[in-house]
Structure 1
């Protein structure tokens, strides 16, 4: 049986058997790696919003709602970008361009995830978190994916706001309000996003050019983008000092953040002085480790004094 016949036969299956056969494809639609990183930063926001007690409702129901909404936005991204994905070597095997999942099924799946996630947040967490999550979903799935990505080489700078929202969502899930410290977490991820993504864009420049997407390396060249990676990394290191400067965190976080930042700056400098084809992806890989370690340091710095006080008491 050829591929087309196989797909057609699959679509004739009852819904439950179709889902069982294609569960990996639906899982891929959710971009689980991206969602996991977003939920991790939301967890940090939730835990930093309290001093001692564990916010169980936010950690369970809140994160489930945030994860479902993020997965819905990812599925919409797959839907909108299906034509682009079909032209790019990195993405042509994704579930929709490969024909494994048909458009009506993907639309229904994205809608179900979005309604479920926002419903959980609205009714079981608080309306503010649901509203902010809805805004984040719209920002990524529609404003960035449908407009900015195709309109300007600054797409990832402007569109990065949606991806920077999870720690704020986590914070509001606990407190029901937006705190300045939560906005600092937002600012860190917002500043981190351009050098993180532009490293990948340098590596995939030919793919983006073929798909006619105006990513910075396509419109302004490789060298120009490498300089911007370095400039934004410098700005990021300065921004990561703000939690210490404002008293939100202490020396443990600050020293760790500066060490992590120096390593990240090293990648930025290396990308300027070396034409190694592997450096952009090594920088991209480190950027993920960097963000996770940075947020882990915020947690450690926040809870070590509490634990020490509890043990001492």
Structure 2
């Protein structure tokens, strides 16, 4: 029984440290990395290369998230949505997430440099630095535009996946179009969620768009950015060299997005905001998988 108790304790501790890396966010980032590699290779780029890139990307993303959790420990305690995070409850003691983040960051860089290439390693590490210093420390507590500017960090896995493929370079417009697609996808995706947690952000003193300008203005921004997303999808259809499958799926999914965005603008309800939020999560996975399948076919 004593051994079983120690095992359960270690398992619970491991789970807490895993949660600090925000694995659900990492999953979303990797959904864009692998399709980007497939598009770059115009086929399957090789199982080992995919595994190596995904592992390195996971460590880098986990690093950024762990450092973010350490820095935001104080506001996470105030917000109902984040109050159960292991750093907010001190189940992961002060400084431990910082050390975990630094170790993962160095390990991710070394892994990508050793098993993929230096450019991929530099891009992944630049995303950590941008997320921590520009978004978390620089913008998050100062401006309602933090989500827009800081979102660039979440788009870098697209570029990392692209350059991981031998012979693929950033001189090609395709990775930048996919980067732009992710960039314009993120603000309306996050603002829809922020409508639900408006009071949470206000209590924590964060100048989220929904707090500074209200949910009504947020629905206007969401609709505007939804049309900006459509413009990027159209540019990608024309300029990325992908086929009819991507065009049909991307335009069809974007049409569905616009229907939900218009409905949200009309009703201004939290229920419709969450419908758009959940749809947007499916959207990015479907569109990027469609790009990958199109490249293979």
TM-score class, shorter: over 0.9
Q: Kindly provide the CA deviation profile for residues 97-129 of structure 1, in whole angstroms up to 9, marking residues without a partner as x.
A: 112110232222112211111110112211111
Q: Kindly provide the CA deviation profile for residues 134-171 of structure 1, in whole angstroms up to 9, marking residues without a partner as x.
A: 11111112210111111111111111110011111001
Which of 67, 75, 88 lines up with 2:58 in the alignment? 67
Higher mean displacement: 222-231 or 43-52: 43-52
Mapped to 2, the partners of 1:100 and 1:202 lie a distance apart of: 29
2:245 is aligned with 1:252: yes
Greater RCO, 1 or 2 (C-alpha within 8 Å, sep 6+): 2
1:174: Cα distance to partner? 1.1
Which of 162, 165, 169 lines up with 1:177 in the alignment? 169
1:211: Cα distance to partner? 0.4
2:70 is aligned with 1:88: no
2:275 is aligned with 1:302: no
Mapped to 2, the partners of 1:177 and 1:138 lie a distance apart of: 22
Which of 36, 40, 65 lines up with 1:45 in the alignment? 36
Equivalent residue number for residue 93 of structure 2: 102
Equivalent residue number for residue 104 of structure 2: 113
Higher mean displacement: 250-259 or 28-37: 250-259
1:246: Cα distance to partner? 1.5
2:194 is aligned with 1:190: no
Q: Kindly provide the CA deviation profile for residues 180-210 of structure 1, in whole angstroms up to 9, marking residues without a partner as x.
A: 2111110000010110000011111100000
- 1:47 and 1:55 in contact (8 A); partners too: no
2:148 is aligned with 1:149: no
Mapped to 1, the partners of 2:133 and 2:9 lie a distance apart of: 28
What is the TM-score of this pair, normalised by structure 1? 0.89
- 1:46 and 1:55 in contact (8 A); partners too: no
Mapped to 2, the partners of 1:19 and 1:213 lie a distance apart of: 35
2:280 is aligned with 1:292: no
2:227 is aligned with 1:227: no
**Compared CA separation, residues 250 and 172, structure 1 to 2 (3 A):** same
* Structure 1 spans left out of the alignment, 5+ residues: 1-13, 305-313
**Compared CA separation, residues 242 and 210, structure 1 to 2 (3 A):** same
Aligned pairs, number: 291
Larger of the two Rg values belongs to structure: 1
1:19: Cα distance to partner? 4.7
Structure 1 runs of 4+ aligned residues shifted over 3 Å read 16-21
**Compared CA separation, residues 247 and 60, structure 1 to 2 (3 A):** closer
Higher mean displacement: 17-26 or 134-143: 17-26
Which of 200, 203, 212 lines up with 1:207 in the alignment? 200
Mapped to 2, the partners of 1:247 and 1:73 lie a distance apart of: 30
Mapped to 1, the partners of 2:206 and 2:86 lie a distance apart of: 21
